[in-house]
């Protein structure tokens, strides 16, 4: 996967393959996990809450991973210690539902309602046959 979209929960200096990127040309933390379809307000709230929580608890983030996380053998050998980001809406919903951190930040009621809605969205689209599937599997000779 060379889309430069992050797949592992990791950070790196000027590393576009990491979830959190520390650009060299400006003092900031770039959270690359949310995409354009994410709710901006929820993404910003969770990022801010995570940062404040880390500062309050004095969490050591460990060493930055500056290699290409798609190609590096060193990173692949560490894969057991690095967690993969959810790949589907269903995986993300499950992770959110189980997250004590999210429940602390957003509240149980919000998380339960949000997860239920996202699972309805997943169920609605999961059973649809896409154009890609029709083209791939239903091509007649």
Contact 18, 32 (CB under 8 A): yes
Q: What is the band of 86 on the pLDDT scale with cuts at 50, 70, 90?
A: very high
Distances (CA, A) of 16 to 31, 37, 118: 10, 19, 28
pLDDT surpasses 80 at 72: no
pLDDT at 90: 96
Grade residue 44 by pLDDT with cuts at 50, 70 and 90. Answer: very high
How do residues 100-112 score in pLDDT, each as one tens digit?
A: 999 999 999 999 9
pTM of the model: 0.81
């Amino acid at each position: 996967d060379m889309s430069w979209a992050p797949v592992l929960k990791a950070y790196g200096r000027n590393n576009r393959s990491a979830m959190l990127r520390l650009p060299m040309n400006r003092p900031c933390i770039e959270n690359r996990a949310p995409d354009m379809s994410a709710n901006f307000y929820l993404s910003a709230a969770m990022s801010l809450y995570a940062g404040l929580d880390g500062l309050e608890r004095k969490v050591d983030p460990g060493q930055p991973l500056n290699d290409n996380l798609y190609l590096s053998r060193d990173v692949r050998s560490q894969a057991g210690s690095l967690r993969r980001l959810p790949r589907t809406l269903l995986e993300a919903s499950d992770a959110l539902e189980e997250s004590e951190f999210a429940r602390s930040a957003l509240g149980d009621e919000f998380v339960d309602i949000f997860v239920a809605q996202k699972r309805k969205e997943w169920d609605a689209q999961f059973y649809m046959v896409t154009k890609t599937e029709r083209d791939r599997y239903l091509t007649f000779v």
